Copies of this chain bind each other. A is one copy, B any other.
Amino acid sequence: MTSQRRVVAEVLAGDHVHLTADEVHARAVERLPEIARATVYNTLGELVALGEVVEFSTDGRAKRYDPNAHRAHQHLVCSGCGLIRDVRPAGDPLAVLPAEERFGFAVEKADVTYRGLCPDCSGAGG
């Protein structure tokens, strides 16, 4: 455990945290000015491999990193402002996929992105 890795882990702490790698880097630089972008990418990759952090993407652009890895959840994304919340649907998302729709796959997980407008964006007439 180096100071660089500690800073990355600290930046990711908290609930409903869904930072991109560059956002993690920007916040890490505030605490450790000379930390390199490559180090942030390396450390994030290690945290994902260890299962401490979940990697996902809501827009096909930058990947995001979610420290809430020990409680299964999905993501709810505002189509207006991009706000992301962790949500827990009822039941197992895999259960609703019938065998005849599995094409012989050994299906292991389902990643769900719910989309809609958050209270601020729908109130503003968006």
Q: Please report A residues at the B interface, Cβ cutoff 8 Å.
A: 55-57, 59-63, 76, 78-79, 85, 87-91, 93-94, 96-98, 101-119, 122
Contact between B60 and A107, CB atoms less than 8 A apart: no
SS class of chain A's interface: helix, strand, loop or mixed?
Answer: mixed
Q: Measured between C-beta atoms, what is the minimum distance from A91 to chain B in Å?
A: 6
Contact between A103 and B85, CB atoms less than 8 A apart: yes
Contact between B79 and A104, CB atoms less than 8 A apart: no
Residues from chain B with Cβ under 8 Å of A59 in the complex: 57
Contact between B118 and A103, CB atoms less than 8 A apart: yes
Q: A122 and B106 in contact (CB under 8 A), knowing A91-B96, A96-B90, A112-B112? A: yes
